[in-house]
């Protein structure tokens, strides 16, 4: 191997705490047919990254060790795989790749899009996991329309912060939940009302909602049914809502669907960033060498928006 085939990457050799994530020199990946190789500028840090590292998902999503985590990516196209059309070396792109905690990562062309002028790598980097999930919840499943009342459970997170802005963009009356420290932040995103879940029971404060988008799961899902009006819909991106409960309450329920070709959604999201209708919230930016600290910060679960790794200028 030569320096042209090597790269630095953060990876883990065993399941465990953030400290098992180490930065090493490894072999650079090669793009397969239908893929591009991306020189990574920013990588997103998402909860699934540290859940895989901790081993909490190994029964359902085992990984081959050692493994490089990471899905969200923004950077420039370095090389094209066989049959790739619509992209050229040097293009600024973003979306979902594989093993993005690295100087180079591959991505299928169905999960990336061009970054338009006026949008930075940093703004584009968190748009796949957070942005696509929010789009699927608010637009695809929720079918949010102007004048509707929408409740976003977890309005400060990487998904929720974008969902609040998408609801506002559609002309809905957006309500959101957040912790005390994040109330004003979520209000600044466009929520008309923000419920501090640490001191207020949302079922007592909110009623007759058309759409609930739950980004939290667990007990939050259980406490979301009562705020819906008859015929309303509960959409969740965490788990599968109970159909029997929905039927008994006279409402609908749906989990966000899986989409393999996300480029059309990414193109819509980045247009909204370019127009100023959507501002991805960035909580912290860490260096690649601080990947372990970045995952530790993500594990606290009380951030604002996304955490990023800055891999290169």
List pLDDT tens digits, range 194-228. Answer: 999 999 999 999 999 999 999 999 999 999 999 99
- What CATH superfamily classification does 130-255 receive? NAD(P)-binding Rossmann-like Domain (3.40.50.720)
Same fold for the domain at 3-115+281-310 and the one at 130-255? Answer: no
Residue 1 confidence (pLDDT) above 70: no
Q: Exposed (0-12), middle (13-18) or buried (19+): which is 274, by Cβ within 10 Å?
A: middle
Instruction: Decide yes or no: CATH 3.90.180.10 for domain 3-115+281-310.
Output: yes
Give the list of residues 6+ apart from residue 117 with CB closer than 8 angstroms, or none.
274
Cα torsion 234, 239, 244, 245: sign: negative
306-310 vs 173-178, strand pairing mode: unpaired
Q: What is the pTM of this model?
A: 0.94
Beta bridge pairs of residue 282: 306
Q: Write down the pLDDT at residue 305.
A: 86
Answer for the pair 217, 234: CB distance below 8 angstroms, yes or no. no
Task: Please give the Cα distance from 81 to 83 (Å, whole number).
Answer: 6
Answer for the pair 35, 84: CB distance below 8 angstroms, yes or no. yes
Q: Write down the pLDDT at residue 110.
A: 98
Instruction: Please compute the mean of the pLDDT values over residues 245-267 and round it to a whole number.
Output: 96
Q: What is the pLDDT of residues 125-183, one digit of tens each?
A: 999 999 999 999 999 999 999 999 999 999 999 999 999 999 999 999 999 999 999 99
Q: Mapping DSSP to helix (H, G, I), strand (E, B) and coil, where does residue 47 land?
A: helix
Q: Write down the pLDDT at residue 301.
A: 74
DSSP designation for 90: T
Q: Which helix (H) or strand (E) holds 185?
A: helix 183-188
Task: Please give the Cα distance from 34 to 21 (Å, whole number).
Answer: 30
Answer for the pair 127, 267: CB distance below 8 angstroms, yes or no. no
Q: Where are the domains of the chain?
A: 3-115+281-310, 130-255
């Amino acid at each position: 191997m030569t320096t042209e085939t090597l790269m630095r990457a953060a990876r883990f050799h065993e399941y465990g705490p953030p400290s098992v994530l180490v930065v090493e020199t490894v072999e650079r990946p090669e793009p397969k047919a239908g893929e591009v190789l991306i020189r990574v500028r920013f990588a997103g840090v998402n909860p699934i990254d540290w859940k895989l590292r901790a081993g909490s998902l190994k029964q359902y999503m085992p990984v081959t060790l050692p493994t490089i985590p990471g899905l969200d990516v923004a950077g420039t196209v370095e090389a094209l795989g066989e049959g790739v059309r619509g992209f050229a070396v040097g293009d600024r792109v973003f979306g979902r790749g594989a093993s993005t905690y690295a100087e180079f990562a591959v991505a299928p062309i169905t999960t990336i899009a061009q970054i338009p002028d006026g949008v930075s790598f940093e703004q584009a980097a968190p748009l796949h996991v957070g942005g696509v999930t929010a789009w699927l919840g608010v637009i695809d499943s929720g079918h949010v329309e102007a004048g509707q009342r929408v409740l976003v459970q977890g309005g400060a997170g990487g998904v929720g912060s974008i969902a609040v802005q998408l609801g506002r963009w559609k002309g809905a009356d957006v309500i959101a939940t957040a912790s005390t420290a994040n109330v004003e932040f979520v209000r600044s995103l466009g929520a008309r009302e923000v419920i501090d879940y640490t001191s207020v029971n949302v079922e007592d404060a909110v009623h007759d909602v058309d759409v609930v988008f739950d980004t939290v799961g667990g007990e939050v899902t259980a406490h979301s049914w009562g705020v819906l009006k008859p015929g309303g819909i509960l959409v969740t991106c965490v788990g599968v809502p109970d159909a029997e409960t929905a039927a008994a309450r006279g409402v609908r329920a749906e989990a966000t669907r899986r989409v393999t070709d996300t480029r059309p959604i990414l193109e819509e999201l980045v247009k909204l960033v370019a127009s100023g209708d959507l501002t991805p919230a960035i909580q912290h930016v860490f260096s690649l060498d601080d990947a372990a600290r970045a995952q530790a910060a993500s594990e606290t679960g009380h951030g604002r928006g996304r955490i990023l790794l800055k891999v290169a200028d």
